């Protein structure tokens, strides 16, 4: 099983600041198979980034993804109020598909 470890667990930032979220895989992963999701309280997850760096439809360009091998990053260039949420990375390169434990981005 490819275990995904996200850090930090919680990120306390102010609107307008830059957020950098990390996702580390226990086994090397093709960049094709790393996705990022946002989940607001009481809502279903929403796809942000697929294949490490491709923004999903309708996702603002302040969201970007990068990485390779075992280390992947989601960056939010300037936080908007609606960006305070939980973010999950997910791999679909090997079974079972797995999610990281999530990073909470909270208002400082």
Partner 1 sequence: QVQLQESGPGLVKPSQTLSLTCGVSGGSISSTDSYWSWIRQPPGKGLEWIGNIHYSGNTYYNPSLKSRLTISIDTSTNHFSLRLTSVTAADTAVFFCARVTYSSGHYYMDVWGNGTTVTVS
Query: From CA 42, how far away is CA 70, in angstroms rounded?
Result: 31
If the CB atoms of residues 24 and 46 are measured against partner 1, the closer one turns out to be: 46
Given its phi and psi angles, is residue 83 left (phi above 0), alpha (psi -120 to 50 degrees) or beta?
Answer: alpha
Decide if residue 98 touches partner 1 (CB under 8 A): yes
Stretch in the footprint of partner 1 (CB under 8 A) among 18-26, 54-62, 67-75, 76-84: 54-62
Q: Are 51 and 36 in contact (CB under 8 A)?
A: no
Tokens of 80: 């908007």
| 3 touches partner 1 (CB under 8 A) | no
* Binding-site ranges for partner 1 (CB under 8 A): 32-33, 35, 37, 39, 43-47, 50-51, 54, 56-57, 88, 90, 92, 95-102
């Amino acid at each position: 099983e490819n275990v995904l470890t996200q850090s930090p667990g919680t990120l306390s930032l102010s609107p307008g600041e830059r957020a950098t979220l990390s996702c580390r895989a226990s086994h090397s992963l093709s960049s094709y198979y790393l996705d990022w999701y946002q989940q607001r309280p009481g809502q279903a997850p929403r796809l942000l980034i697929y294949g490490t760096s491709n923004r999903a439809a309708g996702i603002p360009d302040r969201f970007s993804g990068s990485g390779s091998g075992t280390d992947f990053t989601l960056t939010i260039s300037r936080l908007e109020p609606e960006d305070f949420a939980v973010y999950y990375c997910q791999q679909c390169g090997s079974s079972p598909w797995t999610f990281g434990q999530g990073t909470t981005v909270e208002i400082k």
